[in-house]
Chain A
Amino acid sequence: ILNVEQSPQSLHVQEGDSTNFTCSFPSSNFYALHWYRWETAKSPEALFVMTLNGDEKKKGRISATLNTKEGYSYLYIKGSQPEDSATYLCASSNYGQNFVFGPGTRLSVLP
């Protein structure tokens, strides 16, 4: 069973600050790394899927990078806004399409 870890566990930033989180995952049998945004009382929503070492994805003020050789991914938020407050999950999937999620990073953006 894969073990996916995320840090920090929680984070409080001021509106306008930029921030980043880390997701680490085992490299063995790796197929893809997934990032999700999860607002309270809602379902997780997919942000990015990355498969290749060096992949970079961007959606608005949010971007992500992937390093499969060392087994980590970063999620960046530029100019945080209160509506960015959510839990950010990462998950690693293998070729058998088994997903393992990390525990998440809870972000609070203070106005």
Chain B
Amino acid sequence: DAGITQSPRHKVTETGTPVTLRCHQTENHRYMYWYRQDPGHGLRLIHYSYGVKDTDKGEVSDGYSVSRSKTEDFLLTLESATSSQTSVYFCAITRTGTDTQYFGPGTRLTVL
């Protein structure tokens, strides 16, 4: 599992509140990714990082921001959560020297 953990694993919040999801890895891989998974849409890339303080947008980045101040942590923030952001969020890394991604266990977020 490449030592990837996500926290929290489940969260229920209200519309308009800020939410931060954390992805932590223990193997110092350079590339990290945040996806959301929704029925009928598969996985869609939100943001990714290619190093400390180096991030870029993915396919569905509106309403989300990210930060990476340490190699091991990649944070996803919803500044003002909306019901359309109810989803399962997955963090992933690309294992150094390979082209394959390894995924965390996911965070189920419900915005009421």
A and B, one complex? no
Q: Which residues does B use to contact A, with CB under 8 Å? A: none
